[in-house]
Structure 1
Amino acid sequence: MGIRPKIDRADLLSSLFCYAFYTCLPTSHRVWADVREALYKCSEQDLDPELVQNQLISDLKYHPGSRAPVSRSHQFQAFNWFSIQAEEFKWKLIPEFSSVLDKELEELPFVYRTYPRGDISVTLLEENQDHLSHGTTGLITWQGAYCLLDWAEWSEELKGKSVLELGSGIGQFGLTAVQSLQIKEFIFSDFHHSVLNYLHLNISLNLGNPPSMEELEEFMQRGYLEPYTADTVRYSTKDYDVKSTTKVRVQHLDWRDYQSSLLPRVDIVVASDIVFAKELHRPLTDTLVDIINTNSCPAYIACTRRQEEGVVKAFLEMVEERGLSSEIVYDRVYSPADGIIAHYEGLHPVKVFKIHQDSLRTEKPSKGKVYF
């Protein structure tokens, strides 16, 4: 019993370091302060520096995030940070750490980030620098997906259901949900061909047969450009043979230009962070009305407050003008301790709204209500 705390300290250090390493968080992020605290505890308890470093290297090797390469630039930054801490604690670096510090390389346009959630980890190729360089915000992850996952786990509303996600982006919500929520069928959808290409890769990386490490390395430099182009993406659908009991499909769906006959038959609709652009409120409302009334199903949309409340409120009022109802079913205010991987924006309140046919109304219309 007496040596157990020492083992726990090394495990905690390794767990935190692997998390910070495979999420590709910059060393300025607060999670690295937690790593430093764990490192201090190891030093304070006189753990063997060589054994601790060997455990770190071993855990990095077998971590789920190792399914994809980590940019050499981030490796340098992480290992250089570790070497500075080690020098302070008078630890000698083992060769596996020191060899990475020979040369710092430039940042690449794309990066693989691993998002852990319980026993599930999802690795995504996403944009690393300019979040609008491809004319879409869909190539990074947003915190609304975290809240939607929290709601889905808490409510169990998706269990055994056929689910359509609007604005799936690169797949953070769907790829996690497919592996953890016992969903019958999950249909990803988005409109931009670049987003659907990255989604295609991320499905293969997490649920199918991923490309080789050499190919994955190459994608960090040039991105992923298959199988769609702007000319071929319209109305496309693709079914995937995945390592899951859930049936998985990707469907091109542009709210501004779709055919009602091609909309899928589903039990439930989900989405996160899709109402931030007022110019899309009308086509999004039209799409929701079409899907909800055709399927007699509800929609659950996670909305993050990034602007004034009027953006979300205007959308909900438009929805209700079309004969649907809305109500809050879940809300969260996240703190840095929650481990939200979104270092490019601050944390904001998030609420999940249920939108459904008016006959199922349980609350008064939204007009005049304050939601945030």
Structure 2
Amino acid sequence: MFRMMNAQQPGDQTAGNTTDILHDFQVSFFAMRRLATFPWTFLEKELANEKTSELVSDILKQTCLHPLCQKHPPSVKYRRLFLTELIRRQEAAEAEPLDELYDALGQVLGAEEGAECYKSYILPCGGAVSLLESVAVISDGTTGLVTWEAGLYLAEWALDNQQAFSGRTVLELGSGVGLTGITVCRSCGPSRFVFSDCHRSVLQKLRDNVRLNGLDGRTGPGVRVEELDWGAATEERLREIGANIVIAADVVYDPDVIGCLVKLLSRILRGSSPPEGPPEVLISSTIRNPDTYNCFKLQLESAGISHDVITGPVSHVFPYNRVSAIELIKLYI
């Protein structure tokens, strides 16, 4: 695994600010955030004051020249746009030229863009969760080949509540590319973790990402990747999994599948109980369409399933759009 930024030195405010900015550039770059969200204003002020390229060089070392970028690079187009913007800001400030910056741009200008790229999410403990994702939002007829905000939020909640997963068997519904589950496996100490999805393309990508992050059964918790059709999953199958806690993120988006999802959740809560009682069930949702989300809650109520909204702040670990309305609920009967 790769170590990321070193912690700032206590009492050194300038070094602290610079370290924070370098960290912001790094986490935003590897997660392929929109360039407009980067802390360009700080960079411009530093360049105007110093007229040197030292900070630009440090940014380059934490992004395009970082070992993680050599192994799991963001898309070619993204790196090209990032470097072009970095050069534009440097030249506008009339700072001293930096050969490494132009060399890095020259390398990506000659590279071919593929249908897939890597996104990496920096963990508080050091290292990163790296995911091979589709460049397109919708690919192979599914949205499951990219990471969505509710999954990032649930992963942050898990990092703040590691005791909820420690030593337990976890089932994740609709795992997608695997960000939430891999974060839990890497940081929260579950005894077993079952990733699941029903789309073949998603399952293949999911298996690739699980292996990519070293969760191949040789180290860490026992990990399985399984096909799980919500409409066909039997109580016997769910009992075999024996989950103590069930999680899901961004699974409430299509009115046509809500009925199957609610029936599955009912089977999980009523028929797949391990010896210590029904599993905990946590659902994280980005509320894009309030009518669809309210329909989900009404169907839960009709099925005799109650819910509590889990409130309170979570630590901001991953970069994503926090303007979106995201709700995390706990289900029970």
Q: Report if the CA contact (8 A) 2:171-2:195 is conserved.
A: yes
The residue that corresponds to 1:149 in the other structure is 155
Q: Report if the CA contact (8 A) 1:6-1:45 is conserved.
A: no
- CA-CA distance at 1:83 after TM superposition: 0.8
The residue that corresponds to 2:250 in the other structure is 273
The residue that corresponds to 2:217 in the other structure is 241
1:84 aligned residue (66, 82, 88): 88
The residue that corresponds to 1:353 in the other structure is 329
- CA-CA distance at 1:328 after TM superposition: 1.3
- CA-CA distance at 1:84 after TM superposition: 0.6
CA distance in 1, matches of 2:184, 2:207: 16
The structure-2 alpha-carbon separation of the partners of 1:13 and 1:315, relative to structure 1 and needing over 3 Å to count, comes to closer
1:302 aligned residue (267, 284, 289): 284
The residue that corresponds to 1:325 in the other structure is 306
The residue that corresponds to 2:120 in the other structure is 114
Counterpart mapping for 1:212-227 below 5 A: none
- CA-CA distance at 1:176 after TM superposition: 0.9
Counterpart mapping for 1:1-372 below 5 A: 7-8=15-16, 10-27=18-35, 29-31=36-38, 34=39, 36-46=40-50, 48-49=52-53, 51-60=54-63, 61-62=65-66, 64-102=68-106, 103=109, 107-120=113-126, 121-129=128-136, 131-155=137-161, 156-208=163-215, 240-244=216-220, 246-263=221-238, 264-293=241-270, 294-295=272-273, 296-308=278-290, 310-330=291-311, 340-341=319-320, 347-357=323-333
- CA-CA distance at 1:14 after TM superposition: 3.1
Q: Report if the CA contact (8 A) 1:123-1:202 is conserved.
A: yes
The structure-2 alpha-carbon separation of the partners of 1:110 and 1:86, relative to structure 1 and needing over 3 Å to count, comes to same
**Identity value in percent:** 24
Q: Report if the CA contact (8 A) 2:52-2:95 is conserved.
A: no
The structure-2 alpha-carbon separation of the partners of 1:347 and 1:127, relative to structure 1 and needing over 3 Å to count, comes to farther
- Single out whichever of 6-15 and 260-269 deviates more from structure 2: 6-15
Q: Report if the CA contact (8 A) 1:111-1:128 is conserved.
A: yes
The structure-2 alpha-carbon separation of the partners of 1:93 and 1:108, relative to structure 1 and needing over 3 Å to count, comes to farther
- Single out whichever of 253-262 and 136-145 deviates more from structure 2: 253-262
CA distance in 1, matches of 2:81, 2:147: 22
- CA-CA distance at 1:137 after TM superposition: 1.1
- Report the secondary structure of 2:298's partner residue: helix
- Report the secondary structure of 1:207's partner residue: coil
Q: Report if the CA contact (8 A) 2:157-2:314 is conserved.
A: no
TM-score by length of 1: 0.75
CA distance in 2, matches of 1:14, 1:183: 32
CA distance in 1, matches of 2:179, 2:173: 13
- Report the secondary structure of 1:169's partner residue: coil
- CA-CA distance at 1:144 after TM superposition: 0.8
- Report the secondary structure of 1:279's partner residue: helix
The structure-2 alpha-carbon separation of the partners of 1:16 and 1:148, relative to structure 1 and needing over 3 Å to count, comes to closer
The structure-2 alpha-carbon separation of the partners of 1:193 and 1:14, relative to structure 1 and needing over 3 Å to count, comes to same
The structure-2 alpha-carbon separation of the partners of 1:332 and 1:56, relative to structure 1 and needing over 3 Å to count, comes to closer
| Root mean square deviation of aligned Cα | 2.8
- Report the secondary structure of 1:38's partner residue: helix
TM-score by length of 2: 0.83
Q: Report if the CA contact (8 A) 2:160-2:314 is conserved.
A: no
Q: Runs of 5+ in structure 1 lacking a partner? A: 209-239, 358-372
- CA-CA distance at 1:272 after TM superposition: 1.0
Per-residue CA deviation, residues 199-254 of structure 1 (Å, 9 max, x unaligned), is: 1111121125xxxxxxxxxxxxxxxxxxxxxxxxxxxxxxx32542x221111101
- CA-CA distance at 1:134 after TM superposition: 1.0
The structure-2 alpha-carbon separation of the partners of 1:98 and 1:258, relative to structure 1 and needing over 3 Å to count, comes to same
- CA-CA distance at 1:64 after TM superposition: 4.2
Per-residue CA deviation, residues 141-196 of structure 1 (Å, 9 max, x unaligned), is: 11111222333344432222111010110001011111111222111110001001
Residue type of the alignment partner of 1:341: Y
- CA-CA distance at 1:338 after TM superposition: 7.8
CA distance in 1, matches of 2:232, 2:279: 22
Residue type of the alignment partner of 1:314: C
Q: How many residues align?
A: 312
Q: Report if the CA contact (8 A) 1:75-1:100 is conserved.
A: no
The structure-2 alpha-carbon separation of the partners of 1:72 and 1:148, relative to structure 1 and needing over 3 Å to count, comes to closer
- CA-CA distance at 1:47 after TM superposition: 6.7
- CA-CA distance at 1:107 after TM superposition: 4.8
The structure-2 alpha-carbon separation of the partners of 1:65 and 1:161, relative to structure 1 and needing over 3 Å to count, comes to farther
CA distance in 2, matches of 1:157, 1:65: 33
